[in-house]
Amino acid sequence: MRRRTLLQGAVATSAAAIAASALAEESAASNLDQGDTNEMLSWQVGRVKITRIVEMDLPVPAEYMQGATPTELRKMPWLYPHFVSDDDSTLNMSVHALLVEAPGMRLVVDTCVGNDRPREITGGEPMSTPFLEHLSEVGWSRDSVDAVVCTHLHVDHVGWNTMLENGKWVPTFPKARYLIGRAEYEFMRGVDDAEQQAMLGDSIAPILEAGLVELVEQDHVISPEIRLTPSIGHTPGHVSVLIESEGQRAAITGDICHHPCQIAHPDWALGDYDPKAAVLTRARLFADWADQPILVIGTHFAAPTAGRILSDGKTLRFEA
């Protein structure tokens, strides 16, 4: 019972659910066709290229981030204008996938919500976005993807694992290994939550049936340049992705944080399954990355999305 109650609480207060419940009436319709929102950003880390493919913008009322009052937000001028609205009422976020091209490998990190799924995040209506067209614009095809990483199993990170074809959910990337944390999968498949079970049914079961899933440990090494690192708290088996090539380094956060304000305030929470563990994870990783030549790429950070963590007096800031 505790497992069900805690996870339902996290799902119900996740960034996706918050945005849907607070903004559905005024913005859900515009979220269904996001053809013009993709601002193509890319970064080079040694021999590894990382490209952002946007599925949709995700404005979240600031009041839903614990501690993010207008007064506190204004104490962080570096959040403006990219990450907070001018009137301090909205945290600017997005849902995007990250394409990682390393020597001999093409990897997708997190696959967004996906088309044809009536989720909370879409106001209960299925989306129809040009996600695959954006993929082709950067020279990728469905068949060219070698691996997919799901940092965790929430609906806005697994959707394009599959696609609807002739009324059936099929793997979007039929030649890829889908790398899913063993601990994350074992936990999530036991959760009694309707939307979570729907996600497992349309986004996970088809790739399992196709024999494409590889359940991995939280420190799994994907290639000489790419590995996973444990970052639990948002979910029990959450991982982040670390990249190192030719002396350069990057980190893809996943949902250890949803917004850059949490870099200065790791105690500010949004939809964490285990808030205490999430705070410790944020504090530990941000301290490790601070003042280092590490490019930090936020999985829900609005453009410009990537930057470095720097000391700022007694706290930290994000320099995009």
Would you place residue 121 in the very low, low, confident or very high pLDDT band (cuts 50, 70, 90)?
Answer: confident
For 239-250, the pLDDT digits (tens) are 999 999 999 999
Q: Is 60 exceeded by the pLDDT of residue 190? A: yes
**For residue 261, what pLDDT is reported?**
98
pLDDT band at 16 (very low <50, low <70, confident <90, very high): very low
C-alpha distances in Å from residue 222, one per residue of 51, 137, 214, 219, 241: 18, 25, 11, 9, 10
Q: Which two tokens stand for residue 314?
A: 């007694």
Q: Is a pLDDT exceeding 70 seen at residue 115?
A: yes
What is the rounded distance in angstroms from the CA atom of residue 217 to the CA atom of residue 214? 10
Q: 263 pLDDT exceeds 60?
A: yes
Q: Residue 139 has which token pair?
A: 């020279």
Q: What is the mean pLDDT of residues 181-208?
A: 96
Alpha-carbon distance of 93 to 57, in angstroms, equals: 6
- pLDDT above 90 covers a percentage of the chain that reads 85
Q: What is each CA distance from 79 to 10, 19, 259, in whole angstroms? A: 25, 20, 10
pLDDT class of 230 with cuts at 50, 70, 90:
very high
Query: What residues does each domain of the chain span?
Result: 2-319
Please tell me the pTM assigned to this model.
0.92
Does domain 2-319 match CATH 3.60.15.10?
yes
pLDDT at 17: 47
Instruction: State the average pLDDT over residues 140-151.
Output: 98
User: pLDDT, tens digit, for every residue of 33-57?
Assistant: 444 456 789 999 999 999 999 999 9
Does residue 219 have a pLDDT over 70?
A: yes
What pLDDT does residue 97 have?
98
pLDDT-derived band at 29, boundaries 50, 70, 90: very low
State how far the Cα of 310 lies from the Cα of 303, in Å rounded to an integer. 19
Question: What pLDDT, on a 0 to 100 scale, did the predictor assign at position 30?
Answer: 40
Our measurement of the distance from residue 83's CA atom to the centroid of its chain's CA atoms, rounded to an integer in Å, reads 16
**What distance in Å separates the CA atoms of residue 211 and residue 285, rounded to the nearest whole number?**
34
134: confidence class by pLDDT, cuts 50, 70, 90: very high
pLDDT at 12 over 90: no
Cβ atoms 256, 211 nearer than 8 A: no
pLDDT of res. 38: 61
232 vs 253: CA distance, rounded Å: 11
